[in-house]
């Protein structure tokens, strides 16, 4: 039997998402320094905090595209 995959409670978003993607899991137990369970993080938990900044970046791209179109004429 394979060992249980976990993430430490102090792990950041990038580390947690990487671990979930690497192992192909949508849920991962979160443990403290003693290895005790403190919660479970899900892919849905991770997506919202990542999607909001990405959505804001998309407005930058749209604004830059419009600016480039105006200045190239």
Question: Residue 21, SS3?
Answer: helix
Mean pLDDT (the chain) is: 86
Q: What are the boundaries of each domain within the chain?
A: 7-71
More confident call, 64 vs 22: 22
| Sign of the CA dihedral running 8, 11, 15, 21 | positive
pTM value is 0.66
pLDDT at 15: 92
Give the mean pLDDT of 41-51: 86
pLDDT at 13: 87
pLDDT (tens digit, 9 = 90+) per residue, 22-34?
Answer: 999 999 999 999 9
Task: Please state which CATH number belongs to domain 7-71.
Answer: 3.10.580.10
pLDDT at 48: 81
């Amino acid at each position: 039997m394979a060992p249980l995959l976990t993430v430490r409670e102090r792990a950041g978003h990038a580390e947690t998402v990487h671990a979930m993607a690497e192992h192909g899991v949508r849920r991962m137990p979160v443990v403290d320094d003693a290895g005790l369970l403190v919660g479970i993080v899900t892919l849905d938990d991770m997506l919202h905090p990542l999607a909001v900044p990405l959505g804001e970046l998309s407005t930058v791209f749209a604004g830059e595209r419009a600016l480039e179109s105006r200045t190239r004429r």
